[in-house]
Chains A and B, each alone.
Chain A
């Protein structure tokens, strides 16, 4: 058997050469339908080899299926019935091993004699030239060239020509398959865009680290034109992520990819074209190849700003509820401690009264009882006040000029200010207006200023600075003194609690800051304090418009 191949084109006859060139040219035409390919190949084989029949059989498992047969006599394309590989094992084995079967006398040839009874004799075939057709090294079919009646000897040129035909057929089949896949891909992308166009979620697809698809909904979400978004570099993307979130996003992506996670989520803030950040939630689906690198990286991105807003709303409500609960706990504390401490004193005094007959002693105890009663009444009064603050927080707000309002409040305690030689600096612009409940505001300022006076240092003249800081829809008022200061390490948690005092002053009842905090919270504000023993304190409260 001869092993000549296609590169040995010196073997071609002129006719062979012309036919192959013709075939080559036609292969550029659209070969979407493989039938055309088979027609051309079988016809060319019949013509070039001057034979009676040429056919292409595809091999599926152990069955040979005739796909296309051209018969010179009838000048028609048809098919033969299927053949089973087990009926002619030698022939089939030869094809599988890639051997071109060159049978000058098919009836006696070692590979084709098996076909004698069922195929060769009934069809009158005398000579065969059968070539395996492979795709990626796998046998997928066979090109059969058959001659009838008078025996012939296959020339080297015939063999080379047939080999070329089979090689071209292999390539065309492969090409066709690739075209179909490309078409399917295009189709699937079209399908994807049909889905994504009608979804508010954004879709982004990376293939081999290259951005290959970006849905209009995605660019819409970002506020960019599609071509602008398409040109984003990875760096651009990371730059648009909120600085507080960027590290989290980076870590999430790298960690999940290194763990070969197929799917993961991440929430972060992203800056759209408008310059504003919005919350988005990305769900990434990643396909990895055998090397462990990712082939496909699909991101489904959703604008979750509304959800985040609701979440914030809930957490704000939660804080309010938590505050209310803390206040309730404070109440329980007062009832358990302050009311009880008075009643238990009363019980003990009553015991003493009962146990004595001495009238003088009894009188003394009576005075004590009166004192206890007074304290108890006081406690209940303040309890009631606290409840009232909460109930009347819906009272009407009015517009106040901050500076003149504070001046007016301080005038009310002018005597105390003067007696204590306190210097109060009101560093507030003239036309600063606030919208608040006047009685609450007065109580807050009064409490904080009188506190500063009460706890002044004897080592220096008292200076109180009142400042304001204007925010977006809020403002903060600072009341700073150079008094005794509070030990923050010890008292941080209880500074605004009820009945907490810090200086051991006998007249301190521990209600001022508790009430102040209540007033501020009733106005929807917050209060915080910084202080250092021996230097002074600064109270800062923030109210919202």
Chain B
């Protein structure tokens, strides 16, 4: 547990959706999140296609969207970019809080991510506990 990291949000349980097929990364993130705030909830979906399905279902059932979406770029079925293209077409796109979390160092990809209004920020891997805490405290 990191002390003083998020006093403001201690009361609210945050829901984090990680769209990434890298199980090790997901495991590590879960660990770090639990160290920031043990009550926060992490959901993992391994490809863009299922994630799209998941979000659409939430919209239909008028449930609460995840507070944060961490999106990887290189994935099977529907990769990060294709996922974003599909999201652009949806009515609830502005209610989503999407962060691209990728290990790419390709400047073109980082530049490209700025073209999507739905993307809040490009976060390069590896991600430290402090980085993650900063993001989670934004809301």
Contact = CB atoms under 8 A, between A and B. Distances in A.
A508 B28 contact: no
A253 to B, nearest CB: 46
Nearest to B106: A336
Contact of A351 (B24, B106, B129): B129
A522 interface: no
Contacts of B31: 352
Chain B at the A interface: SS class: loop
A421 interface: no
Contacts of B22: 341, 345
Interface string A369-383: 001100000000000
Contacts of B3: none
B96 interface: no
A343 B103 CA distance: 9
Interface stretch (A163-171, A267-275, A463-471, A499-507): A499-507
A7 B32 CA distance: 125
Contacts of A341: 22, 25, 74, 103, 125
A250 interface: no
Contacts of B103: 336-337, 340-341, 344
Interface in A331-378: 332-333, 336-337, 340-341, 343-345, 347-349, 351-352, 355, 368, 371-372
Contacts, number: 74
A502 B76 contact: yes
Interface in B9-27: 22, 24-25, 27
Interface in A299-350: 332-333, 336-337, 340-341, 343-345, 347-349
A501 B50 CA distance: 15
Interface string A481-525: 000000000100010000111111100101000000000000000
Contact of B126 (A337, A348, A371): A348
Contact of B106 (A333, A343, A349, A504): A333
A348 B126 CA distance: 6
Contacts of A504: 46-47, 49-50, 76-77
Interface residues of B, number: 29
Nearest to A346: B126
Nearest to A499: B74
Contacts of A501: 76-77
Contacts of A336: 103-106
A343 B24 CA distance: 11
B76 A371 contact: no
Given A333-B106, A348-B126, A490 B82 contact: yes
28 contacts: A332-B106, A336-B103, A337-B74, A341-B22, A341-B74, A341-B103, A341-B125, A343-B126, A344-B125, A344-B126, A345-B22, A345-B28, A348-B32, A348-B125, A348-B127, A348-B128, A371-B24, A490-B78, A490-B82, A500-B76, A502-B77, A503-B76, A504-B47, A504-B49, A504-B50, A504-B77, A505-B76, A510-B76
Interface of A: 332-333, 336-337, 340-341, 343-345, 347-349, 351-352, 355, 368, 371-372, 490, 494, 499-505, 508, 510
